Every structure is written in C-alpha cells, then in structure tokens.
Structure 1
Amino acid sequence: MTGALLRIYAVLSKEFTQLSRDRITYAMILMMPLVQLLLFGYAINTDPRHLPAAVFSSDHSAMAGSVIAAMERTSYVDVRYLPRSEGEMDDLLRRGQVMLGLTIPPDFTERVLRGDKAQVLAEVDASDPVSAAGALGAVAALPDSALDRQLVGAAARPSPAPPFEVVVHRLYNPENLTAYNIVPGLLGTILSMTLVMMTAMAVTRERERGTMEALLSTPATPIEIMIGKLTPYVLVGVIQTTVILSVARFLFHVPMAQTLAGWIALTCGVALFIIGNLALGYLISTLAKSQLQAMQMSFFYMMPSIFLSGFAFPFYGLPQWAQHIGNILPVTHFLRIVRGALLKQQILSDMGSNLLALGLFVLIISGLALARSRTTLD
C-alpha cells in the first residue's frame, strides 16, 4: 500500500512539475475563467443605451428643442450629429455612424399649436434589431411627455390626443428579421475560428515534427515561407465565404450587394480579413510550443471577438472600455463591412475607416509574425 502511494505521489509530482513548465497552458487555466467573468459580468448588456443619434431640424423653436431634450433624457440616445440636409442624414445612417435619425419639419410648432396632426420622422437603423428596439423606445413616448411644459395656458391642447405623431421608418431591415443581422455576422466568426486555429495548429504541428525547422534551414526567406504556407488557406477562406454567402441568400434570403461597387467593397473586406486571420494564426504558431497551446491561444482570441464585436450582443450596449477593445478587434470592422455591403448597399467610400483598420491589422500582425519567425531556430 505504501509503495502504491509513493508511486502515485511520484506521478503526481511529475505532472505538477510539467504543468509549471508549460507556462502558457497554466496562464490559460487562470485567465480563461477570469476573462469570462469580466465579459459576462461587466461588458455584456442586452439593453443598449446612449445610442448615437442625429437630428435634422428645420424648426428652431423652443418646442422642437424640447422634443430633442426629451429624447436625450431617456438615456437611450445621444445626439451627436446635426446634419444640414436630408442627404447628409441618409449618409450618416447608411455608414452606420448613427442608429437613429430624427427629422423635425419646418412647420412643426405651427401645426402643434393648431392641433393639425404635427409629425416628426424617426429613421432607425434596423440592421441590428436589438439596438433598433432601444432607439424606438426612446421616441415612442415623446408625444405624451415632450411638450407638457410648453402646452399650458393658452397653448393647452383642446383634446387629450397627443400633440404630435412620430412616424417610424425601419431602414435596411423593415421586417425586423434577426437572420439579417446574425447570418452575415457568422461569416466573420466562422472565418476567424477556422482560419486562425487551422493555421496556428498546422504550423505548430510541423514544428513538433521537425519539418518546419528543416524548411527554415533552406535558402527560402521567412517572408517566402510565410507566403507559401498561408496561400493554400486563402483558398479555404474563399470557399468558406462563398458557401456562407450562398446559404445566407438561398436559405435565409439575406439581401446581397446590388451593384458592382458593392461587391468590390465586400471583396476587399473579405480579402483583408482572410489575410489578417491567417497572419494571426501564423503569429500564434511562432509563440506556441505545442498544438494544445496553439488551440488554447486561438480560443483566447476568439472569446472577445465573439462577445465584443457586435456579433452576439449589441455593440452599443457595451461599456466604453469594452467598445475600445472591440474597436481593436478585426472582427468588429469586418462585421460592419459585411452588413454594410449586404444590407445598406455600402461601397468603398462608405467603408474607408473599417478597411483602413483591417489593413493596419494585416500589416502589424504580418510584421510581428515575420519578426518571430526569424527566431524559431534558436
């Protein structure tokens, strides 16, 4: 019995020693639950507030100002833009810079005082149904409370009917279909999950077998090896993109880009995203010492990519610090590109900032991967 306990103790000591040497795995064991707690405890919020809004008011009276102030008091929207034309308002909504656009006509005050069915127009970006519901909640109660202080005395309304009406237009997803938001978003998460992990584990497997070191000992330069290793996986990413978009169109009836310019913009976004993911997988392979570590590091990247990108939860529902992290992630910008091209008919000029973010990600990650690959024989 004593001998068995000693042998068990010896094996146990060996496992603890091995675990202490595998620092990356040990760190993942500690960090993964901590990150999950932080994300679910502090970052995730299904009731987004402080949504960016724009107001185009042709009526500069106190009543129009009261409507805007009442909308902001709900805390669901923040007025960040004051466009000077309907065209400028349309551009803000199409580019995703605002979730809500409120238009107040020039005769608003006059019609309110006459009791002549005054109206304001609320245009909501419904490509994200959850965020759209919050924006609609901000404007739904305006007719009942926004003008209570103005309509007193001689200006009191003669009937109990609301003094004005809010006309709502749901843009880009008028039927409020969740599939229009989720299915295009799956393109980004599936490409990230498969390409990053596939590349990281494939290259790490070659290092474990010794073939990677043999390849690095040849006259081929690190950039030539990197291009040669990643090019086949570009084709994998293209095939995955084609399959996902085909399923989205024919099974879920998700709208597609309607113009050549839209397809060109989408193609540029897909190309940058695929290359960036492959470069990230290659970088992970230079850091990981085993396939298990490569898989763990890939999962560690995927967790914030899913929760902080606007795929699983509304982006504007995240706290500011989480939004800053989300804006660093390439998935966030890629989701905006895909949804913009498919649902909003965006073109290259509308995607400038998101394409630039993906381009910078590709350059930075590729540079780091090349720098690391020079030390793999040490």
Structure 2
Amino acid sequence: MAARFSLRRLGAMIRKEFIQMRRDRLTFAMMLGVPVMQLILFGYAINADPKHLPAAIHAQDHSAFTRSFVKGMENSDYFRFVAEAHSEAQAEELIRSGKVQFVLHIPSGFSRDIERGLRPQILLDADATDPAATGNAAASIQFLAAGVLARDLTGPLAAQGAPGPVDVVIHRRYNAEGRTELNIVPGLIGVILTMTMIIFTALAMTRETERGTMENLLTMPVRPLEVMMGKILPYIIIGYVQTAVVLTAAWWLFEVPFTGSLGLLAFVLFFFVAANLAVGFTFSTLARNQLQAVQMTIFFFLPSILLSGFMFPFRGMPEWAQWLGEALPLTHFLRITRGILLKGNGFPEIAPDLAAILAFLLVVSLISLNRYRQTLD
C-alpha cells in the first residue's frame, strides 16, 4: 500500500471515473437532462396565477350592459369565454365536465334594474376543486363590478357610488371553503401509484437480469404477453391496497367528500395502474441495471407531477406544456378522481379521460412487448 498521498494516482482515479461515466451514457444523459428539464418546466411552464381561464355565459338579458360586463371580464385577462349556455342544465354540464372553469349567469331584467338603480345580482359559478386556479380570477371580478360599467352609465346613473351598479355573487362549487386538501388528497392517489408502480415493476425485471434468474425465465415456455401480465397483475392488487389506504385517510383525517361512485373509481383504477406498470416494464427492457431503472423512473415521474395539474394549475401552463400534460396518464386520472370524489361525476363525464388512459396503455404495452426478447443478447 502506498505510504504517501499521490496527485498522480488521484488524477488516474478521476480519469477512470470520467471514463466510466462516458461508458454509462444513460446516467450521463440523466445528469444533464434532469437539470435542463427542471429549468424549462419551472421557468416556462409553471404559473401559479393562471390567466385566460375558459368560461361560459348563461345570459337571460342580452343588453349593452351585459356585453360590456363580459368584455370587461375578458379584458382582465383572467377569463376567456368559450361557450354560451342556453339553459341551467347546459351550464351545469359545462362546469361539471370541466369544459369551463366559470359560468356567468345574467338574470332577466338585468339592464332594467341597473337603470333603476336597484343593483341587480349576477351569479358567477366557479369550479373550486382547485382553489389556486380560481382564487385570483374570482377575486378580480369584485373589482370589475365597480368600474366596468362606468362608461355605460350616464346622467344620474353615473353617481351611484362606491358599491357599483351590480352585486356579484360568487358560488364556489365543489369546494366552498377553498380547502386545498380537497384538491391535493385525491390527487395523491395518482401520484403515489405513478411513483410506486413504475419503480416496482422496473426494479423487479432488472433485478432478475442482474441476479441471473432471467435465463431461467427465458428457457421456460412462456410467451412475452404472459410474462408481462404475470409481472403486472400482482402489483395491480398492491395498487388497490394503496388506494384503499389513501381513501381511508382522506375520509377519516381530511374529511374529503365521497360524492360519486367508488365502484367507478375502482374500475378506472385498474387501467391506470396497468398503464403505469406497462411503463415500468418498458423501462426494465431498456435499463441494464437497477440504477438505470430508477433514473428512468425519475425522468418520467418529474414531468408527470409538474405537468399533470397536481402541484400547479393545469390551465395556467402555456399551450405547449398542456399538450405534453395531456399525453401523461396522471393528468387524466387526476381529473377522473377529483371529478368522481368531489363532483359526483358518472361514466359520461369521465369517458374522454378514460379513453386517453386506455390509448396510453395500448401504445406503451405494444412498445414493451416489442422490446421484450425471448432470448438473451
């Protein structure tokens, strides 16, 4: 053993480590890719003050006052009117399905009551399942009510005073108190399942390769689909156990309301867990060891949690980030879970998001089956 410290030997060890990094291209790519991805997502995609939120109008008075009020809301940059509801039922369907974040109700006789100085009430329905997405927009309309109609009020009407010519009533739907736990806790089901299911499956397959048991598996008369299903089905059961634990805590500790059908949630859960397990199986066919499998899991999990609407308002992100988020199964599962638990949504409301999860499952399953080999290279 060398008696003295040697800079030459130290330099040789440093050079050896850089050579080892160069050989492990996946790890080297992750070292560069993760910081770049975080910089782009946090710098460009994340926005805690979402603007241009989709809204609908249900107007029973089509007067100049109505048009001015709607235009003033759009000029605030918080609201973007994308639909017109012709009935209360249609307005309810729009906000319940998540197609719009707000519904503005203008009552009949709106302009007549303004001209008489009666301060008519207008109702703003807000989807408050995500309080962070609607809080600033809902607060802004209170200031709009005082001044947006000032240009249209002349003569004695212009001297009505501080309260303004109209009274805006905000109805925060599905989360009247604005409790963040009603938004976070249901979303935790998807986040926990995404992280655990992918990493469990990826490690299970790569562990067999490292320990040499994959050779025994490959010599058996087992089809690739049978291997994949055999690896996935046990973890689906574990996924149901994890969900039961989270739902119990949600009900007992956080008083999250269970408005919809838990049976429907359990039905959707099967396909969501299967989609994440298929991702883990695919990573196991790409990774050479368990470290690489963990790295791939992190690389998938990071954008999933940032772009799905779990931590930050989904509609606050730029359009390109929303397109990326739509490709992730967690985005659609969060909408389904919150819709079922908080809104009481049924199958018609969740069908589009369920179809997106099924499409993801099909594509990833085909990729993983194609990557799987019956013989070792």
Q: Name the TM-score, length of structure 2 as normaliser.
A: 0.96
| Secondary structure in structure 2 of the residue aligned to 1:156 | helix
Letter in 1 for 2:173: L
Letter in 1 for 2:90: E
Aligned-partner Cα distance in 2 for 1:160–1:251: 44
Please point out which of 129, 133, 136 is paired with 2:135.
133
Aligned equivalent of 2:40? 38
Aligned-partner Cα distance in 1 for 2:88–2:287: 53
Aligned-partner Cα distance in 2 for 1:291–1:158: 71
Aligned equivalent of 2:72? 70
| Secondary structure in structure 2 of the residue aligned to 1:312 | coil
Please point out which of 9, 17, 20 is paired with 2:19.
17
Aligned equivalent of 2:347? 348
Aligned equivalent of 1:363? 362
Whether the 8 Å CA contact 1:115–1:157 is kept in 2: the answer is: no
Aligned-partner Cα distance in 1 for 2:162–2:229: 71
Cα separation, partners in 2 of 1:13 and 1:84, compared to 1, 3 Å: same
Aligned-partner Cα distance in 2 for 1:376–1:156: 84
Aligned-partner Cα distance in 2 for 1:176–1:272: 31
Aligned-partner Cα distance in 1 for 2:161–2:363: 64
Cα separation, partners in 2 of 1:376 and 1:84, compared to 1, 3 Å: farther
Aligned-partner Cα distance in 1 for 2:293–2:186: 27
Aligned-partner Cα distance in 1 for 2:185–2:163: 42
Aligned equivalent of 2:151? 149
Cα separation, partners in 2 of 1:141 and 1:282, compared to 1, 3 Å: same
The within-5 A match list for 1:1-378 is 4-153=6-155, 155-258=157-260, 262-374=261-373, 377-378=376-377
Aligned-partner Cα distance in 2 for 1:158–1:330: 52
Aligned-partner Cα distance in 1 for 2:299–2:162: 57
Shift, 1:316, TM fit = 1.2
| Secondary structure in structure 1 of the residue aligned to 2:254 | coil
| Secondary structure in structure 2 of the residue aligned to 1:52 | strand
Shift, 1:202, TM fit = 1.3
1:110-159, Cα deviation, whole Å (9 max, x unpaired): 10001123111101111101112022034212221121111013653555
Question: Could you tell me the percent identity over the aligned residues?
Answer: 46
Aligned-partner Cα distance in 2 for 1:176–1:125: 10
Shift, 1:4, TM fit = 3.9
Letter in 2 for 1:70: G
Cα separation, partners in 2 of 1:250 and 1:158, compared to 1, 3 Å: closer
Shift, 1:22, TM fit = 0.7
RMSD over aligned Cα atoms: 1.6
1:344-371, Cα deviation, whole Å (9 max, x unpaired): 0001100111000000011111111100
Shift, 1:273, TM fit = 0.8
Aligned-partner Cα distance in 2 for 1:154–1:145: 16
Aligned-partner Cα distance in 2 for 1:345–1:322: 28
Letter in 2 for 1:196: I
Cα separation, partners in 2 of 1:224 and 1:177, compared to 1, 3 Å: same
Whether the 8 Å CA contact 1:124–1:135 is kept in 2: the answer is: no
1:5-59, Cα deviation, whole Å (9 max, x unpaired): 4443433333222211111001000101111111111111111111111111111
Structure 2 residues without counterparts, runs of 5 or longer: none
| Secondary structure in structure 2 of the residue aligned to 1:359 | helix
Structure 1 residues without counterparts, runs of 5 or longer: none
Whether the 8 Å CA contact 1:216–1:222 is kept in 2: the answer is: no
Aligned-partner Cα distance in 2 for 1:176–1:376: 56
Whether the 8 Å CA contact 1:308–1:322 is kept in 2: the answer is: yes
Shift, 1:318, TM fit = 1.0
Aligned-partner Cα distance in 2 for 1:99–1:80: 10
Whether the 8 Å CA contact 2:218–2:374 is kept in 1: the answer is: no
Whether the 8 Å CA contact 2:224–2:374 is kept in 1: the answer is: no
Cα separation, partners in 2 of 1:220 and 1:230, compared to 1, 3 Å: same
Q: Name the TM-score, length of structure 1 as normaliser.
A: 0.95
Letter in 1 for 2:142: A
